[in-house]
Amino acid sequence: MSPGFPSPRVHDPRALGLMLGVAADALLGDPARHHPVAWFGSWATFVERRLYAEGTSHGALFTVVTLAPLVVLGVAAEQVARSRPLAGTGLTALATWAVVGSRSLAREGDAMAEALASGDLDAARARLPHLCGRDPSALDTAELGRATVESLAENTTDSAVASLFWGAILGVPGLLLHRGANTLDAMVGHRTPRHRRFGTASAKLDDALDLVPARITGALACALAPLVGGSARKAWRTMLRDARDHPSPNGGWCEAAWAGALGVRLGGVNTYGDRVEVRGTLGDPDGPRPDAAAVRGAARLVAAVTGAATLIAAATLIIPFPATTPTRRTCP
Summarize pLDDT for 18-70 with one digit per residue, the tens. 999 999 999 998 877 788 999 999 999 999 999 999 999 999 999 999 999 99
* Average pLDDT of the chain, as a whole number: 91
- 3, part of any domain: no
Q: Which pLDDT band holds residue 1 (cuts at 50, 70, 90)?
A: very low
133 alpha-carbon distance from chain centroid: 16
Q: E-assigned strands of the chain?
A: 269-272, 275-278
Q: How many Cβ atoms from other residues are within 10 Å of residue 185's Cβ? A: 22
- What is the span of the domain harbouring residue 199? 13-318
Is the pLDDT at 222 greater than 50, yes or no? yes
Is the pTM value of this prediction over 0.85?
A: yes
Whether 95 and 21 have beta carbons less than 8 Å apart is answered as yes
Measured distance CA(12)–CA(14) in Å, rounded: 6
Per-residue confidence (pLDDT) for residue 158, from 0 to 100: 95
Q: Which pLDDT band holds residue 251 (cuts at 50, 70, 90)?
A: very high
- 233, part of any domain: yes
Per-residue confidence (pLDDT) for residue 326, from 0 to 100: 52
* Residue of 325 and 73 predicted with greater confidence: 73
Measured distance CA(63)–CA(61) in Å, rounded: 5
Whether 113 and 107 have beta carbons less than 8 Å apart is answered as no
Look at the chain and report how many structural domains it folds into.
1
Please give the helix or strand (H or E) that residue 269 lies within, else none: strand 269-272
- 92, part of any domain: yes
- 7, part of any domain: no
Q: Which pLDDT band holds residue 147 (cuts at 50, 70, 90)?
A: very high
- 122, part of any domain: yes
Per-residue confidence (pLDDT) for residue 191, from 0 to 100: 79
- 257, part of any domain: yes
Query: Under 8 Å CB-to-CB from 49, ≥6 apart: which residues?
Result: none
Whether 272 and 298 have beta carbons less than 8 Å apart is answered as no
Per-residue confidence (pLDDT) for residue 44, from 0 to 100: 96
